[in-house]
Amino acid sequence: MAAQVHAFDDELGGLDGLATAALIRDRQISRREVIESALRRATVVDAELNLVAVLDEGAVEAGVVAGPFSGVPTFVKDNTDVVGLPSRHGSEGLHPKPASHDAAITTALRRSGAVVLGKSRLPEFGFNASTEFATEPPARNPWDPDYSTGASSGGSAGLVAAGAVPFAHANDGGGSIRIPAAACGLVGLKCTRGRMPAAVLEHVLPVNIVGEGVVSRSVRDTAHLLAHIERRVRGLPAIGLVEGPSTRRLRIGLVLDSVTGTPTDDATRAAVCETAALLTELGHDVREMAVPVDAAFADDFTLYWSALAAAMAGLGHRLLPGLDRSRLDGLTRGLAGHFRAHRRDIVGAVARLRRSSVVYEEALAGFDAVLTPVTAGTTPRLGYLSPTVPFEELLDRLVAHVAFTPVNNVSGSPAISVPTGRTPDGRPVGVHVMGPRGGERTLLELAYELEQARPFTRLGTPSEAAAATAG
């Protein structure tokens, strides 16, 4: 195992967001000192891990906003606008002008008091499950730089795991919050559709699969951010602030293998089975259940994913002025070609995907939550999911790997990744808990319970990190 890369030697690096905000509020440290320290940490880890798309040194002059995370540093994913910074969307063919305004989720993060230090890296348009590029260096995992950070929120996950910031913005169209959270040993909640502020594009998708959120090192940071942000979003009954486990015992479904037929690898299966055993010890009723999607789901989702790539390849220069389509990577071009070859099937695929929310809710009848792997295998080495791999081979690898998370994007249901497992060589393995629409409270309560029963291992000095998170 290669040497780990982190910034936990800086005391502030081990604190979660709420603990950091408390120090500032109690005047034990100034907001400026916190931001300058985070910029230093980000610079140090980025030099080895390639996680930052753009760094904003001017963040030290940002005004103070009252909120639960007042003065806490964060990053925004580089497919989301931050005023004054470019949004490159992970594409080597795009060199945009600085954004003229903040995206809705950026505004929401600022209203929580968070200070945006810059933009984190993602693969081209978020289509890949690894933050890798055609010619630029990949984002490297701080647990072992030979491995992927996952994707598409891979830059954000790497920065949080390495101790640069306590949480960072992420978004999820097929697992892009939960997969990098699992790869980097973090908490990653994908909310019910409509819970978080929506990006403009989400209003025009035939099936809105994209949701905003964060990756964090503690359950409480995710819970407090959700409670603060959801107050300004209309449409769903509020979850409110979840502050710990529930005493209610649950009926939890267990799914070990996906609808694709790809067997779950040994380390992933072990992590899920150990978590199921822990939940049983804690008094929950855990029992196996069927995969909550139709057999055609994987093919339908792949075609829809391909349709989005085809739209970017064909119309991206209109949506993103200055895009050089000749420099799109092999995955984007390959997906676009896949759509063209199967475009006759898209109407049926969209109809079935729209119905999947009904199939999902029917499958969950009688269960409060469902425990599954996040991906079919542990985080791959860099190169395995590179956009330079021949397309058909890469597509097969991606479909097999990203086998569990897309169902929640299509059905609009919530799911959370929590880092309860480890590989034999010590890298993190996340497990995935899915819930019915509107079920975030149950997922967060379970995540708190798992965190308390078996504290999550972090880079650096685990005991110190755990103590810092406890505040």
Assign 325 to helix, strand or coil. Answer: helix
Helix (H) or strand (E) segment spanning residue 446: helix 440-453
Which one-letter DSSP state was computed for residue 82? B
Pairwise CA distance, residues 195 & 191, whole Å: 6
Helix (H) or strand (E) segment spanning residue 371: strand 369-373
Helix (H) or strand (E) segment spanning residue 362: helix 346-363
Instruction: Say how many C-beta atoms besides its own lie within 10 A of residue 394's C-beta.
Output: 20
In the chain, % helix, strand, coil (3-state, to 5) comes to: 40, 15, 45
Are the beta carbons of 413 and 437 closer than 8 angstroms? Answer: yes
Structure tokens at 26: 């109690």
Which one-letter DSSP state was computed for residue 69? T
Structure tokens at 378: 């542990």
Which one-letter DSSP state was computed for residue 378? S
Helix (H) or strand (E) segment spanning residue 270: helix 266-281
Assign 118 to helix, strand or coil. Answer: strand
Active site (catalytic) residues: 77, 152, 176
Assign 288 to helix, strand or coil. Answer: strand
Pairwise CA distance, residues 469 & 279, whole Å: 23
Of 368, 363, 362, 364, nearest to 449 (Cα)?
Answer: 368
Pairwise CA distance, residues 273 & 73, whole Å: 36
Of 201, 151, 400, nearest to 308 (Cα)?
Answer: 201
- DSSP per-residue letters across 30-42: -HHHHHHHHHHHH
